[in-house]
Amino acid sequence: MIAEVSLRATGARARRRAIVNAVMHVVLGLAVLAALIPLFLIIAVTIAEGLPAMTIEFLTSTFNFSRRVQGGGYLHGLIGTLYMGGLATLMAVPIGIASALFLTEFPKSRLAGPIRFFADVMTGVPSVFVGLFVYSLLVRQIGFGTFVGALSLAIIMLPIIVRSAEEILRTVPGDLKRGSYALGARQWQPVFRVTLPSAASGLTTGVMLAVARALGETAPLVLTALAAQTIVLDFQGQGQTALPLLIFREARGAFAAGQERAWAGALELMALVLLLSILARVIATRRASQ
């Protein structure tokens, strides 16, 4: 005769699994908290230090030539950041997503391995080496300017876009493409009408990670864009500036007025990246839902 066992009864193994599960929940929660604490501290300190100097004059005027004196702003740095960041995005995003599509559509190609290898290597290369490369290749021939600065940022963005876009494109179910082929679609049609729209939200996140990385770079711009004291709209041939360059220049100074502007510039850069990320996600979500 088989003994009846209540469904509510738990054995030793079940209790042990429940204890391990609870312990791992606590450990993972503490790990997340440990990762978020530095982030919150950075945001809080930047807001506390930069908000008092974030005035209308700071947002609408250019550099104060005297670092000792209060006043002046980073308008030329904001315009330079948007100018070079926009050009870098236009250069890096199409090449990066096209490379990721190649890696996912033709994974057995002989070029897939080298492309993936160089993308992984370039992700870990210090940004100052990128600046040195562009300086030796172009700056010595055509001079400092917006284009060479944007090119250095695009090189930094490219491997991030390639690797993140490849992983995101792999999450698109293969049944969607096979269904398109069954309906008579050509090989290129599912890519543009199924794969990319399905992965639009994730691709936007990957692109914004690359943009955020590029907009905060200083070392390559020192060697390519150089600097400027006013608003520069020239494509090439005249030095350009950016928020990271101005922040670096004044943060290392000994004068309180310059350090206050540096904190305000850091807050402005943080707000710019956040605003661009939100705007890009909204646009991608709307297009994906259409």
Give the pTM: 0.86
E-strand ranges in the chain read none
pLDDT tens digits along 14-60: 788 888 999 999 999 999 999 999 999 999 999 999 999 888 988 88
Rg (CA), the chain: 25
Angle, CA 145 vertex, CA 140 and CA 149 arms, to 5°: 90
What is the reported pLDDT for 269? 93
In this model, does residue 8 exceed pLDDT 60?
A: no
In terms of average pLDDT, the best of 83-87, 192-196, 257-261 is: 83-87
The closest alpha carbon to 86, from 192, 235, 223, belongs to 235
Do 40 and 101 have their domain in common? no
Tell me which residue range forms the domain holding 28. Answer: 12-53
Cβ neighbors of 3 (< 8 A, separation 6 or more) are none
- Weakest-pLDDT range from 172-181, 200-209, 273-282: 172-181
Instruction: Give domain status of residue 79, yes or no.
Output: yes
Do 112 and 256 have their domain in common? yes
Instruction: Give domain status of residue 5, yes or no.
Output: no
Instruction: Give domain status of residue 49, yes or no.
Output: yes
**One-letter amino acid identity for 144?**
F
The closest alpha carbon to 221, from 141, 155, 122, belongs to 155
Do 28 and 81 have their domain in common? no
What does the mean pLDDT of the chain come to?
86
pLDDT tens digits along 193-249: 888 888 888 888 889 889 989 998 999 999 999 888 888 989 988 999 999 999 998
pLDDT tens digits along 89-128: 999 999 999 999 999 888 888 888 888 898 888 888 889 9
CB contact at 8 A, 68 and 240 = no
Distance CA 71, CA 231 (A): 17
Do 41 and 169 have their domain in common? no
What is the reported pLDDT for 288? 61
Distance CA 122, CA 157 (A): 10
Structural domain count of the chain: 2
Q: What's the whole-number mean pLDDT along residues 120-146? A: 91
